């Protein structure tokens, strides 16, 4: 009690987190770069990045011994650029972050093996301004519109868990000659699983639909089926820790020997088409070419639906 009759009151120091002027706790959210660094550290700790990098190195390295087997185990013409389609939003999705970190690691391996810079283009309609700004800051090109699927040079197409319609449109757009198809190197869904009856996305039963016009969604996948028979398919390492990001993905390309002595009909008509519809009539002789001509429309539709796969 003080002499003037008032009691002196003291307050204990508040140990609660400091608040900003609006009364909110001062919490700084991690930047996108910090998020990606954390994902990279985890992927490196598990050894997954190192395994995938070795897989790509082995595919790009020239064999030291001859033989037919070695001729199919390496990419005959290494890619000089990368196109990434349907990655998803790296600012919002940890799966997309893991997939981007892997691509970044593989780009380093390609540049080491090929002794030069590798141009990289990205497209996904779900990219946010933050995604675009970050990718651009890393030296990548972010496309504002659909990427042309007919390739003018050997390209690694990175399409993790993309829609089947996109793979079909991509393959059909480049199924014009051995040289053109040889430019197509895929890192995406395993094509052979589409013909595996134990796989949920198998096409084996869907090819036996009414009139041979496509599956229950009205979509054909004949080029995916053909590619699964001739492409060299090297699955990515199994990883229980990163299953959601990398399950059922593979590095895939077509060895030149697989295309040797293919008849002209191989490049104009899917193998199952004649079985489903019988011999074409005179006015139907150009039908396969018409189908190929519509590949651009199918590709545009698939690209516009990329957000459904992320």
- Average pLDDT taken over every residue of the chain: 78
Provide the H-helix boundaries in the chain.
32-45, 48-60, 68-72, 94-114, 129-137, 164-173, 178-181, 222-230, 243-246, 273-277, 287-293, 295-304
Q: Which domain holds residue 275?
A: 32-62+78-309
Per DSSP bridges, beta strands 249-253 and 184-189 are: antiparallel
| Structure-model confidence comparison of residues 257 and 70, the more confident one | 257
Residue 25 forms part of a structural domain = no
Tell me the two tokens of residue 229: 């028979």
pLDDT at site 64: 47
Q: Integer distance in angstroms from the first to the last C-alpha of the chain?
A: 69
Residue 106 forms part of a structural domain = yes
- The sheet with strand 81-85 has its strands ordered as 141-142, 119-123, 81-85, 155-159, 184-189, 249-253, 232-235
Q: What is the dihedral of CA 108, 112, 113, 118, to 10 degrees?
A: 60
Residue 281 forms part of a structural domain = yes
The pLDDT tens digits for 284-298 are 333 333 343 454 555
Residue 88 forms part of a structural domain = yes
> How far does Cα 93 stand from its chain's mean position?
15
Whether the pLDDT of residue 306 is over 80: the answer is: no
pLDDT at site 55: 96
pLDDT at site 271: 40
Whether the pLDDT of residue 15 is over 70: the answer is: no
Residue 17 forms part of a structural domain = no
The pLDDT tens digits for 126-168 are 999 999 999 999 999 999 876 678 999 999 999 999 999 999 9
Residue 303 forms part of a structural domain = yes
Domain count, the chain: 1
The pLDDT tens digits for 157-214 are 999 999 999 999 999 999 999 999 999 999 999 999 876 555 555 555 554 443 444 5
pLDDT band with cut points at 50, 70 and 90 for residue 60: confident
The overall longest dimension of the chain from CA atoms, in Å, is: 117
Q: Kindly state the average pLDDT of the residues 240-258.
A: 92
Q: Kindly state the average pLDDT of the residues 32-49.
A: 96
**Residues 99, 96: Cα–Cα separation, whole Å:** 5
Residue 72 forms part of a structural domain = no
Residue 206 forms part of a structural domain = yes
């Amino acid at each position: 009690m003080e002499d003037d009759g008032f009691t002196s009151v003291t307050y204990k120091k508040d140990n609660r987190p400091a608040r900003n002027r609006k009364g909110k706790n001062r919490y700084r959210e991690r930047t996108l770069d910090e998020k990606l660094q954390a994902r990279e550290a985890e992927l490196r700790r598990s050894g997954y990045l190192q395994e995938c990098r070795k897989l790509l190195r082995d595919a790009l390295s020239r064999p030291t011994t001859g033989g037919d087997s070695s001729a199919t185990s390496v990419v005959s013409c290494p890619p000089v650029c990368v196109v990434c389609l349907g990655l998803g939003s790296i600012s919002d999705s940890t799966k997309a972050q893991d997939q981007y970190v892997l691509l970044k690691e593989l780009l380093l391996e390609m540049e080491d093996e090929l002794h030069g810079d590798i141009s990289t283009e990205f497209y996904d309609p779900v990219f946010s301004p933050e995604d675009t700004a970050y990718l651009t800051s890393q030296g990548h090109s972010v496309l504002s519109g659909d990427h042309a699927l007919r390739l003018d040079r050997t390209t690694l197409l990175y399409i993790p868990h993309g829609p089947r319609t996109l793979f079909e449109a991509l393959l059909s757009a480049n199924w014009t000659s051995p040289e053109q198809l040889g430019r197509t190197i895929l890192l995406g869904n395993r094509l052979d699983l589409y013909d595996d009856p134990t796989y949920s996305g198998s096409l084996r039963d869907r090819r036996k639909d009414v009139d041979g016009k496509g599956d229950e969604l009205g979509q054909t996948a004949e080029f995916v089926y053909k590619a699964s028979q001739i492409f060299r398919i090297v699955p990515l390492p199994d990883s229980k820790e990163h299953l959601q990001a990398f399950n059922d993905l593979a590095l895939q390309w077509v060895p030149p020997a697989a295309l040797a002595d293919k008849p002209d009909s191989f490049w104009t008509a899917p193998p199952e088409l004649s079985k489903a519809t019988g011999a074409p009539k005179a006015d139907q002789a150009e039908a396969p070419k018409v189908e190929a001509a519509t590949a651009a429309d199918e590709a545009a539709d698939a690209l516009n639906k990329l957000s459904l796969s992320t």
